[in-house]
């Protein structure tokens, strides 16, 4: 509006200058002066002290709808709305009492009444005029309808802009070149807990701690000195703690291009930064998880290129992770049928998952290492979906080499176990006056424990109990060999010590790192005697009327000495009701969760309590007692128990 008022200043000033000249020459109503005043392109009227219009320009008559000359002689009050007439009269009197130029801009809110009753907003300038000693007033009236409309539009735009600024979640501010705030939005005031009076006209010192204030000032200077918009990452203190901001600061220029201030928009990116940090942390954790699993894992995009791979995948394929990522699947991973025949891209079952979204798996394929050797593998390939659309696939695979080896060993052990079971006594021997029983309770499929009964032609019963150190296939094979040598060495009249010596010399070269404990005894049911020899093995005699007697070993364990000599143990004389007990160390060394062994004392006490039971029941009950003692611990070693009960 100021610019538009300036636009009419020159003709108005000219008119006042003309009025002054006419006054000085004592206006005589000449035709020239009358024409100038009436035809001037400005809305002007001249009125006397009573408000009677003495002269009106054609412009004022046209603007307010009066016919030419119709206003002259009428009261100026006819141009004033009724509600304002009384105020006008008071003002008019005051003006003539103290005549001086007066200006009323559009902002004064004055209106003039048109002939048809419409009101127009006006700006008004008044000046006193004296003609022939009579005081008059010259009024220059400007229709400011357009100006006010533009001002209203501008105000609406200002209000809209202010509403926009105050509803923006970003912090928006304007500073002068010295860093003092000229304007801030509502978000600024809310997050920093300040009022507009505490911010506008002030710098950073009263708003932020010193170190943060200095950081902001440095960034402001960088934007002003650079003369271009600049982005900054800034951290500032809120009422609820520190927050991260992405700030865009830009110099403000006048129409001549001179920088007069700084504008800024700062967006709170704390949550975004946290999300990014969480994503990075999640990615790191995911990478750690992937690298901690033993299975190989890699991902594929829709182009069939590997997007990620874990360390296990690279290790199994004999390359680095970087050698896999980004490469086409067919180049990075050589995957073939069990016979070594490869796949074309269109027949590869893994790549087919990308086309049809159906998972694939196989436990019978070959994967090839970078050096050219293969290994049996099993894989699973599942599609990755986003919004129901297949966007890739993830492949997990494992090396089946050890699993296949375990299967092979398991089959061998199962076969060995089947052989062992056939070599164990099919049932207890039938010997008059004796109740004999034995059993093996293996820890695995095949075991190294051994027992045997052999009825000899002279009516005696040879029994053997042995334990090869360890359990599994190796000890089981040693046990089979020991049985064969013992049976081959038995003969009427040959002592257990002789048989053991011959067997030990034959089997020792085959033992390697293994050792064997063995007790061999001969029962004479007629004489009720028991003769034995033992290499690292013990037994027990539980007489009916006395304490248990330990049958000590008579030689070192088999395989310890290159030239063994086994001695005979003392002859054990038996009475009705006596028990002979031959356990392997698997029962004695059975251990519970506290690390306590079952031990010989518990074995002997349990056997004594079961003395009246059958030999087979004593065997079963002893094993059950050991099992209850160790539970929930698993069985650690093979257990063999042989019982001989002298019938009463």
What is the residue range of 326's domain? 290-399
151 has a pLDDT exceeding 80: no
What is the signed CA dihedral for 467, 470, 476, 477, rounded to 10 degrees? -100
Average pLDDT over residues 469-477: 70
Q: What's the confidence (pLDDT) of residue 20?
A: 47
- The contacts found for 361-365 with CB under 8 angstroms, 24 or more apart, are 363/400, 364/338, 365/335, 365/336, 365/337, 365/338
Write the pLDDT tens digit of every residue in 129-138.
998 889 999 9
> Which domain-ending residue is among 365, 399, 433?
399
Inside any domain, residue 415: no
Q: Rg (Cα) of the chain, in Å, rounded?
A: 58
In a domain, 417, yes or no: no
**Residues 43-99: tens digit of each pLDDT:** 898 999 999 999 888 888 888 888 878 889 999 888 999 888 888 888 888 899 989
Residue 349 lies in a domain: yes
Verify that 218 and 257 share a domain, yes or no. Answer: yes
C-alpha distances in Å from residue 407, one per residue of 363, 365, 404, 410, 473: 14, 17, 5, 5, 13
With respect to residue 155, please indicate whether it lies within any of the assigned structural domains.
no
pLDDT at 6: 39
Give the number of other Cβ atoms within 10 Å of residue 28's Cβ: 9
User: What is the average pLDDT across 452-465?
Assistant: 94
* 229 in Cβ contact with 265 (< 8 Å): no
Query: What local confidence, expressed as pLDDT, does residue 612 receive?
Result: 93
Domain count, the chain: 4
Assigned domain for 405 exists = no
- Whether 480 and 627 map to the same domain: the answer is yes
Q: Assess contact for 475 and 431: CB atoms under 8 A.
A: no
Rounded to an integer, what distance in angstroms lies between the CA atom of residue 156 and that of residue 163? 10
Contact indicator for 610, 618 with CB cutoff of 8 Å: yes
Which domain CATH number covers 225? Answer: 3.30.450.20
Does 280 fall in a domain? Answer: no
Q: Do 266 and 184 form a contact (C-beta atoms < 8 A)?
A: no
More confident residue, 123 or 1: 123
What average pLDDT does the segment 437-450 reach? 81
Q: Would you state the pLDDT for residue 3? A: 39
Same domain, 264 and 303: no
Please say if the pLDDT value at position 366 is more than 70: yes
Looking at residues 574-593, what average pLDDT do you find?
A: 94
pLDDT of residue 34: 65
53 neighbors 47 (Cβ within 8 angstroms): yes
Q: What pLDDT is attached to residue 33?
A: 57
Q: Are residues 259 and 324 in the same domain?
A: no
| H or E element that contains 244 | strand 241-253
pTM score above 0.75: no
The pLDDT score that the predictor gives to residue 446 is: 61
Q: pLDDT value at position 1?
A: 30
Residues 350 and 261 in one domain: no
- pLDDT at position 190 is 85
* Percent of all residues in the chain with a pLDDT value above 70, rounded to a whole number: 92
3-class SS at 336?
strand
- Sign of the CA dihedral running 427, 624, 553, 601: negative
The set of residues, in sequence order, having a beta carbon less than 8 Å from that of 209 and lying 6+ positions away, is 237
Residues 592-639 have pLDDT tens digits of 999 999 999 999 999 999 999 999 999 999 999 999 999 999 888 889
* Confidence grade of residue 478 (pLDDT, cut at 50, 70, 90): confident
Instruction: State pLDDT tens for residues 280-316.
Output: 777 677 777 777 778 999 999 999 999 999 999 999 9
416 falls within a domain: no
Give the integer Cα–Cα distance in Å for 636 and 638: 7
Separation CA 14–CA 41 (nearest Å): 11
Of the three residues 383, 399, 415, the one that is the final residue of a domain is 399
Q: Which of 86-90, 135-139, 354-358, 568-572 is predicted with the least confidence, judged by mean pLDDT? A: 86-90
On the question of a cis peptide bond just before residue 632, with omega within 30 degrees of 0, the verdict is yes
Q: Which value, to the nearest 10 degrees, does the dihedral of the CA atoms of residues 628, 632, 633, 638 take?
A: 40
**Closest to 190 measured CA to CA, from 164, 166, 212:** 166
DSSP assignment, residue 526?
T
pLDDT given at position 12: 47
pLDDT, residue 24, reads 45
Average pLDDT over residues 117-145: 89
Which of 360, 383, 399 delimits the end of a domain? 399
Task: Give the residue with greater pLDDT, 375 vs 68.
Answer: 375
Tokens 């703690």 — which residue? 241
Closest residue by Cα to residue 542 from 613, 596, 639, 597: 613
Residue 404 lies in a domain: no
CATH number at residue 538: 3.60.40.10
Rounded to an integer, what distance in angstroms lies between the CA atom of residue 124 and that of residue 110? 8
Q: What is the pLDDT of residues 308-354, one digit of tens each?
A: 999 999 999 999 999 999 999 999 999 999 999 999 999 999 999 99
Do 204 and 115 belong together in one domain?
no
pLDDT above 70: residue 28: no
Number of C-beta neighbours around residue 163 at 10 A? 11
What the block records as the tokens of 633 is 């611990």
pLDDT at res. 341: 93
Write down the pLDDT at residue 457: 92
Walk across the sheet containing 434-441 and list its strands. Answer: 434-441, 639-646, 579-583, 539-542, 549-551
Based on the domain organization, do 565 and 442 belong to the same domain?
Answer: yes
Q: Which of 146-150, 209-213, 361-365 has the highest mean pLDDT?
A: 361-365
Cα–Cα distance between 386 and 430 in angstroms, integer? 76
pLDDT at 136: 93
Tell me the per-residue pLDDT of 518-551, one tens digit each, with 9 for 90 and over: 999 999 999 999 999 999 999 999 999 899 999 9
> Which residues fall within 8 angstroms of residue 355, CB to CB, at 6 or more apart?
none
* Residues facing residue 393 across a β-bridge: 300, 383
- Say yes or no: 197 and 233 in one domain: yes
Residues 132, 173, single domain; the answer is: no
Same structural domain for residues 450 and 598? Answer: yes
Distance CA 616, CA 435 (A): 8
Question: Of 507, 518, 504, 520, nearest to 563 (Cα)?
Answer: 504
* Span 417-438, pLDDT tens digits: 777 777 788 889 999 999 999 9
pLDDT at 292: 76
pLDDT > 80? residue 449 = yes
Q: Sheet holding 389-399: strands in order across? A: 306-309, 296-301, 389-399, 374-386, 360-368, 334-336
pLDDT confidence tier of residue 477, bands split at 50, 70 and 90: confident
SS3 482: helix
- Domain shared by 640 and 562, yes or no: yes
189 and 142, same structural domain? no
Kindly state the tokens that stand for 345. 């891209």
DSSP codes joined into one string, 271-306: HHHHHHHHHHHHHHHHHHHHHHSSSEEEEEETTSBE
Find the mean pLDDT for residues 442-465. Answer: 87
Q: With bands split at pLDDT 50, 70 and 90, how would you rate the model's confidence at 38?
A: low
Summarize the confidence of residues 267-289 as an average pLDDT: 77
Q: What percent of the chain has pLDDT over 90?
A: 48
Q: What is the mean pLDDT of residues 4-25?
A: 44
């Amino acid at each position: 509006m100021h610019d538009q008022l300036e636009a009419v200043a020159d003709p108005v000033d000219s008119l006042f200058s003309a009025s002054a000249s006419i006054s000085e020459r004592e206006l005589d109503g000449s035709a020239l002066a009358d024409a100038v005043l009436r035809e001037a392109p400005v809305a002007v009227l001249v009125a006397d002290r009573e408000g009677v219009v003495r002269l009106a320009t054609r412009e004022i008559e046209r603007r307010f709808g009066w016919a030419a000359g119709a206003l002259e002689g009428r009261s100026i009050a006819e141009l004033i709305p009724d509600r304002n007439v009384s105020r006008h009269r008071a003002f008019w009197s005051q003006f003539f009492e103290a005549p001086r130029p007066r200006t009323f801009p559009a902002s004064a809110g004055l209106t003039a009444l048109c002939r048809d009753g419409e009101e127009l907003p006006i700006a008004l300038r008044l000046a006193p005029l004296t003609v022939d000693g009579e005081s008059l007033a010259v009024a220059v009236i400007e229709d400011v309808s357009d100006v006010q409309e533009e001002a209203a539009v501008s105000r609406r735009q200002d209000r809209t802009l202010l509403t926009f600024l105050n509803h923006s979640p970003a912090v928006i501010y304007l500073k002068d070149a010295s860093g003092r705030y000229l304007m801030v939005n509502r978000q600024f005031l809310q997050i920093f807990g300040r009022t507009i009076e505490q911010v506008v006209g002030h710098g950073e010192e009263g708003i932020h701690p010193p170190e943060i204030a200095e950081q902001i000032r440095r960034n402001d200077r960088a934007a002003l000195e650079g003369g271009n918009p600049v982005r900054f990452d800034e951290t500032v203190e809120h009422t609820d703690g520190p927050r991260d901001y992405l700030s865009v600061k830009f110099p403000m220029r006048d129409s001549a291009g001179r920088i007069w201030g700084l504008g800024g928009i700062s967006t709170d990116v704390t949550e975004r930064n946290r999300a990014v940090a969480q994503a990075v942390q999640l990615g790191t954790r995911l990478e750690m998880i992937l690298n901690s699993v033993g299975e190989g894992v890699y991902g594929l995009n829709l182009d069939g290129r590997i997007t990620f791979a874990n360390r296990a995948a690279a290790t199994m394929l004999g390359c680095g992770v970087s050698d896999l990522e980004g490469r086409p699947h067919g180049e990075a991973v050589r995957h073939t049928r069990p016979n070594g025949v490869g796949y074309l891209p269109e027949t590869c079952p893994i790549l087919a998952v990308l086309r049809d979204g159906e998972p694939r798996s196989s436990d019978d394929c070959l994967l090839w290492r970078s050096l050219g050797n293969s290994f049996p593998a099993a894989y699973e390939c599942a599609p990755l979906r986003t919004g129901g659309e297949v966007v890739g696939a993830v492949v997990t695979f494992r090396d089946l080499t050890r699993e296949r080896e375990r299967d092979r060993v398991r089959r061998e052990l199962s076969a060995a176990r089947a052989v062992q079971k056939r070599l164990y006594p099919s049932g207890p021997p039938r010997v008059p006056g004796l109740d004999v029983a034995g059993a093996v309770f293996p820890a695995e499929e095949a075991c190294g424990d051994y027992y045997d009964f052999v009825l000899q032609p002279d009516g005696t019963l040879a029994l053997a109990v042995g334990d090869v150190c360890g359990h599994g296939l190796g000890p089981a094979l040693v046990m089979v060999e020991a049985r064969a040598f013992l049976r081959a060495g038995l003969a009427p009249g040959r002592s257990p010590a002789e048989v053991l010596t011959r067997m030990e010399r034959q089997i020792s070269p085959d033992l390697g790192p293994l050792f064997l404990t063995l007790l061999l005894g001969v029962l004479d049911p007629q004489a009720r005697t028991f003769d034995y020899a033992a290499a690292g093995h013990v037994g027990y005699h539980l007489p009916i009327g006395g304490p248990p007697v330990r049958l000590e070993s008579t030689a070192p364990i088999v395989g310890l000495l290159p030239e063994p000599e086994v001695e005979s143990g003392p002859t054990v004389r038996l009475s009705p009701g006596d028990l002979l007990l031959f356990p392997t160390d698997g029962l004695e060394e059975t251990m519970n969760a506290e690390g306590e062994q079952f031990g010989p004392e518990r074995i002997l006490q349990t056997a004594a309590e079961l003395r009246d039971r059958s030999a087979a029941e004593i065997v079963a009950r002893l094993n059950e007692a050991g099992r209850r003692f160790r539970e929930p611990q698993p069985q650690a070693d093979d257990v063999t128990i042989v019982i001989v009960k002298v019938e009463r």
